[in-house]
Amino acid sequence: MSEINNDFIPFAKPLISEEEEQAVLRIMRSGWLTTGSETLAFEKEFSSFVSAPFAFAVNSATSGLHLALEAAGVGQGDTVITSPYTFASTAAVVHHLGAKVVFCDTEVESFNIDPQKLAEILKTTKHCKAVIPVHVGGLPCKMNEIVSLAHQYGCTVIEDAAHAFPVTYNGKYIGTIGDIGVYSFYATKTITTGEGGMVVTASEKIAKRIKTMRLHGIDRDVWNRYTSKGATWYYEVLDAGFKYNLPDILSAIGRVQLKKANDFKTQRTAIAEAYNSAFSAIKGCLLPPGNSAEDHAWHLYSLRILHEAKLSRDELIEALTNAGIGTSVHFIPLHLMPFYAKTYHYKPDDFPNAVKHFNSVVSLPIWHGMNNNQVHRIIETIQTLLQ
């Protein structure tokens, strides 16, 4: 192993340049900081990028999922099926609307929801309004099967594409295959606005509802009433909406990041390929799900540590931390969390594939902007620890 470098390599880090800084300064000097023309431009550019007829910028992907479910008519007494192998927000928004969360286990070979298990659950689940497939780590779910099954039972498909931009599946961008797609622009994501997200749909009816509910249930765009001579002060509140809009100061960052999205993806793919090449020869390691024929966002690189490995997963995390390398674990299945275990009476062995994945994974740094020395240091450290 080469000489140890004690500089800490963070698990995730955004790549922000002078271009983003200048965009923020432009908005700060414009006299208008909140939602306005910059956000409208961001929505238009994102819509064009993914070829979605409607796109709505929101202050988080969590907000986007909430709006998507509400627009799909999810409410008290309904059920929504999703994976336990996801972040808390995917299920929490279901609960906020008074609906019941029903979990479906992952595939054996991937972290994504299992279509065969989904089919079984749909047969016995009453009042199911929606299915939320989660594209974990940036690997697309088996969307053809999922959409077909969900629509067979009258369910809206809401894609949790928080990890999966920009990724294509059978020629279409993930997020545009179901009825509604939700992306995340959180600080660690493939493009970032610091906090933020985007909701896309091809449905005019759904788009109209999201547009209304995103900002207090008001009947029209009202941001220009303070800046335009022709704007009127009068508006009407059609429903009890939310405050989920994305301000211009963040949209300015998003517009710059969007232009770099494909280059960012190329950088992360190169890191993943270097990792795959190095770790494929290590006994006791299983590479992340996916193969070279599948498009992948590589938001996460989750290496699986098997029982026969030289160190356990937890021992490896501790050793990497001591070596100055940041890691994470994606994910602790939600049915193991006290709230869901208590509320829905779930037991740990109810979703064995999700638990097996959780017990084996360690997510390694994979962010655009990482230099070759950092990548090689991570590879050499893991080779030393596990070989």
**Which percentage of the chain shows pLDDT scores above 70?**
96
Could you tell me the residue ranges of all domains in the chain? 18-259, 261-386
The pLDDT value given to residue 241: 97
CA angle, residues 46, 49, 54, in degrees to nearest 5: 50
For the cut 60, the answer to whether the pLDDT of residue 3 exceeds it is no
What is the C-alpha separation between 64 and 72, in angstroms, rounded?
A: 12
pLDDT band at 384 (very low <50, low <70, confident <90, very high): very high
What is the C-alpha separation between 280 and 278, in angstroms, rounded?
A: 6
> What region, left, alpha or beta, does residue 137 occupy, with left being phi > 0 and alpha being psi -120 to 50 degrees?
left
At 8-54, the pLDDT tens digits run 999 999 999 999 999 999 999 999 999 999 999 999 999 999 999 99
For the cut 90, the answer to whether the pLDDT of residue 228 exceeds it is no
Q: Which among 82, 329, 112, 74 has a CA at the least distance from the CA of 206?
A: 74
pLDDT band at 328 (very low <50, low <70, confident <90, very high): very high
At 67-112, the pLDDT tens digits run 999 999 999 999 999 999 999 999 999 999 999 999 999 999 999 9
Cβ atoms 179, 199 nearer than 8 A = no
At 135-190, the pLDDT tens digits run 999 999 999 999 999 999 999 999 999 999 999 999 999 999 999 999 999 999 99
Q: Which among 162, 134, 88, 108 has a CA at the least distance from the CA of 289?
A: 108
The arrangement of secondary structure in 18-259, i.e. its CATH architecture, is 3-Layer(aba) Sandwich (3.40)
CATH 3.90.1150.10, domain 261-386, yes or no: yes
Across the range 306-317, mean pLDDT stands at 98
What is the C-alpha separation between 205 and 26, in angstroms, rounded?
A: 35
**Which percentage of the chain shows pLDDT scores above 90?**
93
pLDDT band at 232 (very low <50, low <70, confident <90, very high): confident
Across the range 277-283, mean pLDDT stands at 97
Pairing of strands 79-82, 100-103: parallel
Q: Quick count: other Cβ atoms within 10 Å of Cβ 47? A: 17
Q: Which among 213, 94, 107 has a CA at the least distance from the CA of 156?
A: 94
For the cut 80, the answer to whether the pLDDT of residue 225 exceeds it is no
State the angle between helix axes of 88-96 and 61-71 in degrees (0 to 180), rounded to the nearest 10: 40
How many alpha carbons fall within 13 Å on the CB side of residue 116? Answer: 3
Look at the block and give the residue holding tokens 């902007």.
Answer: 369
DSSP letter for 240, please: -
Q: Which among 288, 258, 284 has a CA at the least distance from the CA of 271?
A: 288
For the cut 90, the answer to whether the pLDDT of residue 311 exceeds it is yes
Averaged confidence pLDDT in the chain? 96
Q: Quick count: other Cβ atoms within 10 Å of Cβ 267? A: 18
Across the range 186-215, mean pLDDT stands at 98
Task: Tell me whether domains 18-259 and 261-386 share a fold.
Answer: no
Could you tell me the sign of the dihedral formed by the alpha carbons of 344, 345, 347, 352, in that order?
A: negative
The pLDDT value given to residue 5: 56
What is the C-alpha separation between 298 and 275, in angstroms, rounded?
A: 12
Question: Which residues are 275's β-sheet partners?
Answer: none
Cα-based torsion angle of the residue sequence 221, 222, 228, 229 in order, rounded to the nearest 10 degrees? 110
For the cut 90, the answer to whether the pLDDT of residue 4 exceeds it is no
What is the C-alpha separation between 137 and 294, in angstroms, rounded?
A: 13
CA distances from 106 to 86, 111, 114, 117 (A): 10, 6, 5, 8
Peptide bond into 348 cis (omega under 30): no
Alpha helices in the chain (DSSP H): 18-28, 37-50, 61-71, 88-96, 115-124, 143-152, 204-214, 248-259, 261-279, 313-322, 338-344, 352-360, 372-386
Q: Quick count: other Cβ atoms within 10 Å of Cβ 177? A: 21
Indicate the pTM of the whole model. 0.96
Cβ atoms 171, 144 nearer than 8 A = no
What is the C-alpha separation between 379 and 43, in angstroms, rounded?
A: 39
For the cut 50, the answer to whether the pLDDT of residue 2 exceeds it is no
What is the C-alpha separation between 85 and 164, in angstroms, rounded?
A: 15
Across the range 306-318, mean pLDDT stands at 98
Task: For residue 119, count CB atoms less than 10 angstroms from its CB and return exposed for 0-12, middle for 13-18, buried for 19 or more.
Answer: middle
Cα-based torsion angle of the residue sequence 182, 141, 332, 287 in order, rounded to the nearest 10 degrees? -130
Q: Is 286 helix (H, G, I), strand (E, B) or coil?
A: strand
Q: For the chain, what percentages of helix, strand and coil (3-state, to nearest 5) are there?
A: 40, 15, 45
The residues annotated as belonging to the active site are 189
DSSP letter for 287, please: P
Across the range 323-332, mean pLDDT stands at 98
Q: Identify the residue with better confidence: 220 or 106.
A: 106
Task: For residue 140, count CB atoms less than 10 angstroms from its CB and return exposed for 0-12, middle for 13-18, buried for 19 or more.
Answer: buried
Across the range 53-63, mean pLDDT stands at 98
The pLDDT value given to residue 202: 98
